[in-house]
Structure 1
Amino acid sequence: MVKKNKICFFNSTPFWGGGEKLHLEYAIEFKKLSYLVCIVSKKDSPLYTESLKNKIQTKPFTIGNLSFLNRQKQSKLTRYFVEENIDTVFISASPDLKIASFAAKKAGVKNIVYLRGLAAPVKNTFLNRKILEKTLTHIIANSEETKRKILGNFKSKELEKKIEVIYHGIDLALYDEIAQKQSVVFKRRGSELIIGNAGRLTKQKGQQHLLGVAKKLKEQGISFKLLIAGSGEEEEKLKTQTIAFGLEEEILFLGFVKDMEGFMKALDVFVLTSIWEGFGYVLVEAMAAKKPIVAFDITSNPEIVADKETGFLVPYPDEDFFAKKIIELNSSPELRSVLGENGRKRVELKFQLNQIIHEIENYLELV
């Protein structure tokens, strides 16, 4: 039976990223639960294309950062929400938040929901106060760290009350099905330890620390390969540093890797050197693949990784201790196996997508 609630995901981002993946996954899951679902997105964007592939009602809409000042655009969006009888709107990106939240409020949308995934402070401006405190009905933070950052510049008790922490989830059945079909991205050639890192090559992701750790591993005589999946503005600098450290044989830059399941299958250990993360979804993917983790003990990482249970959390920015923990894992396949199994159990308990969707349903009182 189709439920009367109609849910809209508003996302005009022209490229594919974590927010777009999240919106599509949520839309698919709510549709499975018999909700009426639509996605408003930029025409021919990856999200627009994927929405059509998944037979989700899709509305093309293009905006810029100042579109919230364009009365014609705002009126057009308000009319769409009214005509489609939208009950709930999910918004993530800042430009989208400015126009869609106001349009939804004018249209009388019951639930105006901000999916906040960035663990960075929000400026206490008049516009932000109006949106966060007066316009939005609900704010979903993807970690306790993200919630702390939202509240950092605000003292409003009302704002705090409307923020709920709901983690991102993974469809384990689908993940396992895809993983079974995919080939590993790298085949072991000897007894070396296969270490992996995945993420955009940016300062925030901290891959410069990864090179420092790799240098220490080589100095300790550890036989290893470090697979780095991703691309970004720091790529050339990182490759230059790799040569300077004499690590050309140990480090492989794979570029953007679409098939993360095949990437994870190749690894013995997954490492994350990010300086901050709103929610390190890649950690959940690694744990789903039963890979032990080594990451810095900062931002939201401790909410995902259980230290000494599913991996090791290392004081930031201690590269020596980071290398020491990898060496410990290298010396004990049994420890790697135990931590990996524990990681999988933790994902099953805390980070399953269907559980997350039910948490959202309950928070918004959709059921």
Structure 2
Amino acid sequence: MVTLSLRGQDHVGAEDADWLGPIRVFIRETLSNGGKLSLKHLAALLEVVWRMIVTQRSRVVTDDLLQAVFVQYQQRNLAVSIRTLLLRFFSQLYIQEHQNHPHIARSRILARWLASLPVQLVQLGSRNPQLSAQLLETIHPAAARGNKDLLQSLQKNACSIYDPQEGCVVVLPVESQKTLVQILHFLPAFPAELLACLSQVCNTGRVSASLATMLLRTVHLRSPLSGWSSSSQDVPVKDVDYLSFFFTTLTGFSSEMLRALQDTDEDGLLPSSTLSPLSVFATTLEQFLHHWDIVEEVCHCLDTLGSRAQCFDVIQNAIIKNLHFYGGETREQWLTDLLYCYSVTLSGHRANMGMRDIY
């Protein structure tokens, strides 16, 4: 067992490096030889590593020691207690020390570890919610601090993390879901494929309506249409993707799901009647209420855009386009009447109507 006490020292002089060198070699070899260590033994070694990193203030020493710890961290089939201890070591070292110690902030090994966290989160998923929550406890502050390595990895794995079927955002507990939605505020960009995932996350009902509205509000705030300004030339959310995202969310279904519904056996439809020439799909009350909350938030977001008249025009053109698309050449008279009534109503009352009323 190796113990080392360096409390009360502001720095380690050159003469100390000679006798600390063998200790560092011992620690490096013990951690990186591929052997499994007991929890108590590993905890003692990590305490020594922490103190040597903080007191010696050398990037070379820091990376040398962290590389050995990282080798231990990358081992497969580690006990959960060992994995948790190693994760907590890296996390606390980054959160507590990196701002006060530039040599820690510039560590290449720490940067590699941070970049690996989103990948680990995807791989871990719901198999160990507690461990996933600990990963998020580091990902969130690192994203908030604008850590480049983590943000690049987060961007690369965003579609997997926010996948509407198997992503962490739908399989983890509510608190972790909330953290994942908060992390979206720091994501560098929202490409169309990610927005498609987020739209389905809102509509599938696998996150609460309150979290879905929080997600919608985040996307809205990151758009230049809401007044977001960025020092980068690349805007987080393009205008066309923004509108597409909100209209898809208003519809309640992705284009793929709509096509699937159109091909569904008619046994699943409610029959048309003299009052309603439409054959509609029945939905549960829970699904209806969930989507109603989402619709209200979408309309609120659209209602706050800079030019209300322009927004009305966009919505009107989108609805007219959809009515024409679904009607085609064989459009029935009731659909033509609906389009006419809509146009008359909007042109006559648009000044006094809210976005929610128009929808």
TM-score in terms of structure 2 length: 0.23
* Bigger Cα Rg: 2
TM-score in terms of structure 1 length: 0.23
More strand by share: 1
